[in-house]
Structure 1
Amino acid sequence: EKWGAWGERSMYGRKFMGVIRSHWLIDEDGIVVDEQIKISPTKSVEKAIKALG
């Protein structure tokens, strides 16, 4: 919950609690350099690579 990866979702008009698709890119010093919440699985890798520079 602290990271935003758990919360209310909906499917077919029904609301429920569940995992929210997310990713975090953390550098070697432990600093979060990219955070994507509610990200499409087809764009996750592309956005992570772009965040690397």
Structure 2
Amino acid sequence: MGKIYDGIHRISFLIDENGTVEHVFDKFKTKDHHQVVVDYLKA
């Protein structure tokens, strides 16, 4: 039909106690999101 579909974009933000965006997570699967965040915090 000529329509271009890009899909769903999921973005998650890690915000510190001062309200500053510390990190943007944009490449993750919903079932693995928690582990991506935990791995980032441990690194």
Q: Flag the structure with higher helix content.
A: 2
Scaled by the length of structure 2, the TM-score of the pair is 0.57
Q: Flag the structure with higher strand content.
A: 1
Q: Find 2:5's aligned residue among 2, 7, 15.
A: 15
Unaligned runs of 5+ in 2: none
Counting matched residue pairs gives 40
Distance 1:51 1:36, change over 3 A: same
Bigger radius of gyration, 1 or 2?
2
Scaled by the length of structure 1, the TM-score of the pair is 0.51
CA RMSD of aligned residues (A): 2.6
Map 1:1-53 → 2, pairs under 5 A: 14-15=4-5, 19-53=8-42
